[in-house]
Amino acid sequence: MHESDGAAGPPLVLQTVYDAAFATYPVPMKIATWNVNSLKVRLQHLLTWLEANPVDVLCIQETKLTDDKFPLAEINAAGYHVVFAGQKTYNGVAILSKHPIEDVLIGNPHFEDEQQRLIAATIAGMRIICAYVVNGQEIGSDKFAYKMAWLEGLHTWVTEEMRRHPALAVLGDYNIAPEARDVHEPSEWENHIHFTAPERAALAALMELGLQDAFRLFEQPDKQYSWWDYRNLAFRRNRGLRIDHILLTEALAKRCTACHIDRDTRKWEQPSDHAPVVATLAD
C-alpha cells in the first residue's frame, strides 16, 4: 500500500543462483505473494514464515533495499534461489524459488520506469511475474495518472507474455480491490484509491486477457482481506481490503486446488500490513 515519492533507484542489477539441472515439469507446487513492507525490518518474519510454510515460489514486494543490501546469504541458507531488483527506501521486488530460475527480466519493456516494481522469471515450466502496482494516491493526482499508465503498460506486456507462456502467473500487491466483497465497507471506499472505477476496470481488463483470480476459484468465507491499515485497530476490527492477488492463466487455473490468505502473520509483533496469499497447484 505504500507509495514511492518518485525517487529514482540505482541502476538495474540482477542477482541469481542457478542449478545445472532443471526439474521435470509440471510438478506440484505452492506459489505465494507477500508484500513484506521492508525486508530489512522483516527478514526474520520472512524466514520464520518460510520455515513453517516451505512454498516453492514466493514473490515479495516492498523490499525497500538496494541490491547490495539484499540478504542473499540468508535466503540461500533457507533453501531458496532468488532474483531481485531494489532501490533505497521504496519499492523493490524479488522472486524466491526452491526450483532453478531462468529467463529473468526486470521491468516492463513497454513502460520505462525508474521504480523497481516488476520482475519476471521462468520456474518449473511456469512464467512467474512479481508485481508491485503503483499506489496512486487519489483520483486526479499525478500519481493516479502514473498508476493508470503503468497498468496499461502491464496489460500490453502480459498480453505478449501469455502468448509465449501458456502457463503464467502474475502475483503481487495490485493495490486494487476487485469487488465490493473485497472491501470491508464499500460505501466508505467508493471513489477512493484502491476501489475506484478506473482501477477496477484496469484490473478487470487484465483478467479479461484470460487470467483467473486464484482466490475466487474456490468458495471462501466472507470478509477475507490481505491488507489492514496500521491505524485505528483496523486488523482487530477486520477493516481491510483484498488487494494482493494471484492471477493464473487457464492452464494453471486448471491445476489450482486451493488458495488462501495467511492472516496469522498480521498478528505478529511489528508485522507487515499485508498478509501472504498462497495457491496450491497440482501436477
Residues known to be catalytic: 132, 173
Q: Distance between CA 283 and CA 280 in Å, rounded?
A: 10
Phi, psi of 31 (to 5 degrees): -120, 150
Conformation bin of residue 280: beta by default, left when phi > 0, alpha when psi is -120 to 50: beta
Burial of 10 (0-12, 13-18, 19+ CB in 10 A): middle
Contact status, residue 33 vs residue 242, Cβ threshold 8 Å: no
Q: Which residues pair with 59 in a beta bridge?
A: 33, 95
Q: Distance between CA 161 and CA 258 in Å, rounded?
A: 25
Number of residues assigned to the chain: 283
Q: What is the identity of the amino acid at 212?
A: Q
